[in-house]
Amino acid sequence: FTEGRGTEIVVTAIKSLIPMLVGQSLYKVYTDFGSFWHGLVNESQLRWIGPEKGAVHLAAAAVINALWDLWGKIEGKPVWKLLCDMSPQEIASLVDFTYLSDALTKEEAIDILTKNVPTKKQREIEMERDGYPAYTTSVGWLRIPDETVKSLCKSAQTAGFTRFKMKIGLSIEDDTRRAELLRKEIGWNNILMMDVNQKWDVGYAIHHMTQLAKFKPLWIEEPTSCDDILGHAKIARALKK
């Protein structure tokens, strides 16, 4: 999302975070990552062009991802293993619970994690043996030629992918045609997902997805504005009928 128009804005936003990073103790950051995150996205002036939206959020993500990468290198572990080796208390310290506490408190999170410690090793073994399933969107970008879609589907399946996501929203005719093509190429045993990138209003999302439901998508991503919680709930209720 930062390889085109707007890249220079995100780069400037990253640079604006420098004063909050220079001189920081890595030990302090890594022992209370949640508080570090909170401070990064709630700076008294920058938060007015965020705090967890748009360019400022992308800038914060760049910093956080870099810190995770650095942490893994320091410990000599891939990030998933670094996380896996943490205690429930350490994992909980990674999270800023400010906007979560009404649904999940830090203490409740620690309790859930603690209850699952006895089976953690088993899941780690499964991770090392089987990996974690990921999806590919390369097969489903808008406006790519059908022959390219077919070729990408074949190569992705050869590489082991079983989950495929397609972008939709140009027109119902185009979405239907492309969904038919993807289902033909990946079959019905593999998983198909759809992504609208917030293009529709609630009524159109319901109407459109009702017609695409026959392709059995696992989910429809961002059918309307990401901030419209009630709209998403209405869409979900309508599509369950």
Angle (nearest 5°) at CA 225 between 224 and 231: 65
The whole model's pTM is what?
0.83
Give 146's Cβ-side CA count (13 Å radius): 10
CA distances (Å), origin 4, targets 1, 7, 8, 132: 8, 6, 9, 30
**SS3 of the chain: helix, strand, coil, percent, to 5:** 60, 5, 35
- For residue 51, whether the previous peptide bond is cis, meaning omega lies within 30 degrees of 0, is yes
How many CA atoms lie within 13 Å of 193's alpha carbon, on the beta-carbon side?
A: 15
Where would I find the H helices in 78-167? 79-84, 88-92, 106-115, 120-130, 146-158
C-alpha closest to that of 17 among 52, 62, 53, 83: 62
Phi and psi at residue 20, in whole multiples of 5°?
-85, -5
Decide if pLDDT at 43 tops 90.
Answer: no
The predicted pLDDT at position 42 comes to: 87
pLDDT of the residue at 241: 74
pLDDT band at 2 (very low <50, low <70, confident <90, very high): low
pLDDT of residue 132: 84
In percent, the amount of the chain with pLDDT more than 70 equals 99
166 near 176, Cβ under 8 Å?
no
Pairing of strands 191-195, 163-167: parallel
9 pLDDT higher than 80? yes
139, pLDDT greater than 90: yes
Instruction: For 49-94, write each residue's pLDDT tens digit.
Output: 877 788 899 999 999 999 999 999 999 999 999 999 999 999 999 9
pLDDT digits (tens, 9 = 90+) for 144-187: 999 999 999 999 999 999 999 999 999 999 999 999 999 999 99
| pLDDT 10s digits, 191-240 | 999 999 999 999 999 999 999 999 999 999 999 999 999 999 999 999 98
Confidence (pLDDT) at 1: 61
The average pLDDT across 8-19 equals 93
Confidence at residue 236, expressed as pLDDT on a 0 to 100 scale: 94
* Tokens (6 digits) for 89: 């208390």
User: What average pLDDT does the segment 29-39 reach?
Assistant: 94
Instruction: Let me know: does 202 contact 235? Beta carbons within 8 Å.
Output: yes
Q: How many CB atoms lie within 10 A of CB 197?
A: 13
Collapsing DSSP states into helix, strand and coil, what is residue 50?
A: coil
Task: Quote the CA–CA distance of 169 and 179 in Å, as a whole number.
Answer: 12
